[in-house]
A and B are shown apart, each in its own frame.
Chain A
Amino acid sequence: MKKFLSVFLLTGFLLSLSACQGESPKADFALADAQTLLDSAAFSEPLEELDLEIACSLYGLDQSKITEAAVYGSTGATAEELAVLVFTDAEAASAAKANFETRISDRAEAMKDYIPTEVPKLEKAVLEVRGNTLLFVVANDYAPVEELLK
């Protein structure tokens, strides 16, 4: 009985310790993540790659703050798009988040009268900053995106 109680208490103690540690930090985004999503069922049509200069013009970004980028978009049929960006520092990545929030609202405004069925995709858009990296996704199916974010 004593042995059983000792093991039980010890196990509880160890579990409580692990809970106090909190979640482990998630890895920053990488360009390979863009390919992972492109190869998945996240999008309803193949997306075309955008030139970085065009992408910066589209999102209002400072190209000098970006070290790596993978940006893809729809050719006009849908609101789906994807961007994985590596910035020079975390501050630049955080500042860029506002640009993408504007992008989401503008696209929703344009799509509501043009292709209303695209608006829900924009409402579920994923926009996340990790360290000096940023992920922006407007997808048809968000399951692969959620899997990537784990």
Chain B
Amino acid sequence: MPRSPAHSSHSSHASSRSASHASSRAPSRSSSHGASHPSPRSSRSSRSHSHPPLSSPPRSLMAALMLCLTALLLWWLNLPGGQGPVQAAGPSPSPSVEVTATPSPAPTPMPTPSPTSEPTPTPTPTPVAPDYSQSVPAGDAADADAWFQDAVFIGDSRTDGFHLYSGVKGGTYLVHTGLTVFEVIGHEPVLGTGENKYSVLSALGNKQYGKVYIALGVNELGWFDADAYSEAMGKLVDKIRALQPDAVLYIQAIVPVNSEVCKSKGQPYYVTNENISNYNEALAQLCEEKEVWLVNIAEALVDPETGELPADMTHDGVHFKKAGYQAWLEYLLCHTGQPQEEPGEASLPSQEPVPTRGSSPAPSPEI
């Protein structure tokens, strides 16, 4: 930074003159008296010839004086704000810039080139472990045309209605009106027609699926035994896992009914929301124990204030109207249990753009 012209005027008259002398003297001794003055030697020599020599200070005194002047100059250069000799004019600093102490000039080191062959490590998303103590959380909606292509549904008349009226694309339906979990694990031949009937589990063993959706429980309410229901569902999970080792299991909670409509339509006395609640509680514990997803489809259908199936969503208090099955479908598409990711520590460098949380595509399900 060029020194401020005002700074030199602050120095004392003696130091300014000494500085000028020092600067003029530094390059050449002969110019110690300035350009307008002849060199001392020449002036002395000229004077020595024409006039008698004047008395000159001793050499040691001169040397001492030079030393003092040099020290003074160096001290002055190191003062805060001191800029040294006047340099080439440059842009004066803006008044808003705070002038700080300028360190002694040092050669600017050449910047070390950063290695370009090695990409900067980016955080690798770490899959969040599924929490089976809760029902499957909502996530990005799956592709309605593709998601159920490798799915199989095991259920009763409600699932039959889902198949017929939800608008679902794809899927295999092992459903039977009145089906119970006891019939399924008991290998009852409830599917098929006439003499060609077969059991749900035998049908399940014919093909490998990516997802297995189970919705059973309404027809078991008459047993008034949530523990027996849960135990049977646990056995069903084990059997399905043996037949479909790579499939993701989804156990759907029992959707509550509309009490008034059930009564007006003469539904069995055991079809009550209290009974359903007991069964669902046992189901939730089972899902956590077996580490399978509980799909709380009741969230899509039930009035949150009453906890019941709305009267305008059912004809008989138990089964849903078309709109209800469609809402069921939408719920399944948004509750797939796809692994969620959270930012992890920087590990291996990633060649892909860093995904923005919530906007990255869902990974492919395990098949």
Contacts and interface: CB of A to CB of B under 8 A. Distances in A.
A77 B176 contact: no
Interface string A65-105: 00000000111110000000000000000000000001001
A77 B315 contact: yes
B178 A113 contact: yes
Given A58-B164, A102-B193, A75 B322 contact: yes
B315 A51 contact: no
Interface string A45-77: 110101100100010000000000000011111
Interface string A121-135: 000000000000000
B335 interface: no
B178 A76 contact: no
Interface string B141-185: 000000000000000011011011101000000001110000000
A77 B193 contact: no
**A interface residue count range (under 10 / 10 to 19 / 20 to 34 / 35 or more):** 10 to 19
B163 A54 contact: yes
Contact of A75 (B177, B178, B193, B315): B315
Given A76-B158, A77-B265, A110 B165 contact: no
B158 A105 contact: no
A48 B165 contact: yes
A51 B321 CA distance: 15
Given A75-B315, A76-B157, A77-B316, A48 B321 contact: yes
Contacts, number: 50
B194 A76 contact: no
A46 B322 CA distance: 11
Nearest to A112: B178
A141 interface: no
B164 A105 contact: no
A134 to B, nearest CB: 19
Contacts of A58: 164
Given A102-B193, A110-B177, A75 B167 contact: no
Given A76-B161, A77-B319, 8 more contacts: A48-B165, A50-B164, A58-B164, A75-B315, A76-B177, A102-B194, A105-B193, A114-B157
29 contacts: A45-B315, A45-B316, A48-B322, A50-B165, A51-B167, A54-B163, A54-B164, A58-B164, A73-B164, A74-B315, A75-B161, A75-B165, A75-B320, A75-B321, A75-B325, A76-B157, A76-B160, A76-B316, A76-B318, A76-B319, A76-B320, A77-B265, A77-B315, A77-B318, A110-B176, A110-B177, A111-B177, A113-B178, A114-B157
Interface of B: 157-158, 160-161, 163-165, 167, 176-178, 193-194, 265, 315-316, 318-322, 325
